[in-house]
Chain A
């Protein structure tokens, strides 16, 4: 049925002059569009993409590099020098950086994509166990039982040979590969069905929580072959260098700082690209994003897998610096604490997550040693204060102050 051209006199086939004239009348009604030439559209002067190293990112990377360099130099000073940092402190700082990397990975998917994972500790833990297995194999004959092939706990359990999944764990390169692959594949296997069936919001958070809890229960079992309750510990060396030596401690700290810096840059690259804007689009209006042609489930899955790999890397670097990994890393509480760190630091900024993780963990170390009873009250109070007074988190303080200052200036300018 052809469209009936009814009432042709007033509407039929407008001449080119007609719309232009009509636009003119439109201009009069709305002042915002006045002064626009009705002919060819003006060109767009904007550089559409955001800079990867914008000012906050550059400042953050500068601070990170300066701190890392300072700590590294101080830790290698001869013993007794006034500014020398003890190995214990350097390891502790390295541990904070690993937590910061985990927080960063959470912020990428929570802050930008709106996926709240309450079980990111699972990926951290998987990375940690992979690296723990390698360290375990490196002990070799130096263990309590002196078995050159089997780790101590397997000898204790009267196991005859290594389980198949321990094969290849003595190879450093293979371990590095697995550090990325295992959490990545786990995230893929979990995320694909979840995002395909459009599980989101609270439901997704609860499922991630259940997954990490299930992993914790599994890793508690001796039959799993990961040391059960005690986990993997008593590590001696990495790449033939003792874990207690200053060089190794400093090296691991620098590796953590480097990993954090690189991960931050990678996240910035993603966030500043068009993909980063798609993230925000999916977060704010998922069905609109789907109806302009983005396969939302693939976007989410890709981000989730990438985030899991970062979390796994953080776990892998965490183990040699702490000297132990046990099923506690899969505890839901640990994952939730990391999410709280991100919220405190301010989500959706990347550096906010790092800041939050550092502040919370430094405070935690201080309180749990000096005032152990006060720690949880402090954490609770911090959370309440930030939620009430600083909705953008700690990282939002400069923006808020800047906004105040500008408002004040504008006000005084008006008065003058």
Chain B
């Protein structure tokens, strides 16, 4: 019923035959915020524009929603446009700008369930900003980010996003240096993380076995009682990945996991990633092309905040636009 109504709605919109100016007024970011009314939405012609206008209305409401009394109507956020069951992560038409600099510009990206996706791109292409948007660290100015069709990421705070199963490894290895490796993992364990439950938390036998399994997987079993600050750079990177695994994530975001690693360590990280592949979505941002070539199946190239090309590594390497983007940077 719902799907049909959607299609029927499209036909209606087209028959309403809005002037192109109207449509543009709704779609333009600046105007949409001020001018979007239900009439604009009704008059808009293309579903994308309907969504954008609806989003603008929502954005306007978002600020006031907290002050609203319960029971008053709050329009639900629009669901993602594409309807495909195997898509885990929807990023649609996302724009983020910092002081006029467009870090992300109309970025649209879909990642399928169980996929290992590599994101590459020259410096400033918006790779880290994209991760910030997914994890709730940065709010997109426009566009929507959804994890499956159940979680609207742009309306959730960081902790709720983590609870939904999206875990992130930072660009710089970030572990709790004064705590032992084992305690780092213990803190990351999936579970109730409210203050009082943490105060009384004990490690169950099951959790112990799981910790041991993760330790084995990240090859830090011998170092488990060492303070994390004493680990080598590469080992810290693994520990951080291990901390993410402790949370039994649905999506792993890895920001430059092999930065600063020796060749041997990179090789073992490749093994680790292959080992993890398929269990969860992995989104990998990396500069190291050798590494990307070794693990990637699908590669997305970002350039100036939007997707430049997408495909397997060989297609990407022969893509003229990609070559220009990288060479252009090299010449600077």
Could you tell me which A residues sit within 8 Å of B by CB distance? 1-7, 11, 14, 19, 22-23, 26, 29-30, 32-33, 36, 41-44, 46, 48-49, 270, 273-275, 277-278, 280-281, 284-285, 287-295, 298-299, 302
Contact = CB atoms under 8 A, between A and B. Distances in A.
Contacts of B115: 3
A397 to B, nearest CB: 21
Interface string B115-140: 11100000000000000000100000
| Across the A-B interface, the 4 shortest Cβ-Cβ residue pairs | A41-B216, A29-B264, A41-B212, A293-B162
B195 to A, nearest CB: 4
B243 A292 contact: yes
B224 interface: yes
B213 A270 contact: no
A30 B162 CA distance: 33
A292 B247 contact: yes
Given A43-B209, A48-B186, A284-B177, 14 more contacts: A1-B112, A2-B86, A4-B298, A30-B219, A41-B215, A41-B221, A43-B212, A48-B182, A270-B199, A275-B195, A275-B199, A277-B183, A291-B158, A292-B167
Contacts of A3: 112, 114-117, 297-298
Nearest to B198: A275
A26 B221 contact: no
B212 to A, nearest CB: 4
B7 interface: no
Interface string B175-218: 11111001100111010011100111111000011011101100
A313 to B, nearest CB: 20
A274 B198 CA distance: 6
A5 B183 CA distance: 38
Interface of B: 84, 86-87, 110, 112, 114-117, 135, 158-159, 162-163, 167-168, 170, 174-179, 182-183, 186-188, 190, 193-195, 198-203, 208-209, 211-213, 215-216, 219, 221-225, 243-244, 247, 264, 267-268, 271, 274-275, 297-298, 312-314
A398 B190 CA distance: 39
A130 to B, nearest CB: 26
A298 to B, nearest CB: 5
Given A5-B297, A291-B168, A293-B159, A274 B179 contact: no
Contacts of B224: 44, 46
Contacts of A23: 271
A383 B158 CA distance: 41
A314 to B, nearest CB: 22
13 contacts: A5-B297, A26-B219, A33-B222, A41-B215, A44-B211, A44-B212, A48-B208, A273-B199, A277-B186, A278-B198, A285-B177, A291-B135, A292-B162
A215 B227 CA distance: 43
A232 B195 CA distance: 38
Given A4-B298, A280-B178, A291-B158, A36 B222 contact: yes
A274 B186 contact: yes
Nearest to A23: B271
Most chain B Cβ neighbours within 10 Å, of A274, A278, A281, A299: A274
Contacts of B84: 1
Residue from the set B170, B178, B194, B195 with the largest chain A CB neighbour count within 10 Å: B195
A294 B192 CA distance: 9
Contacts of B170: 287-288, 291
A117 to B, nearest CB: 19
A298 B209 contact: no
B176 A295 contact: no
A292 B187 contact: yes
Contact of A277 (B175, B187, B213, B243): B187
Given A3-B114, A41-B213, A273-B199, A281 B176 contact: yes
Contacts of B274: 11, 14, 19
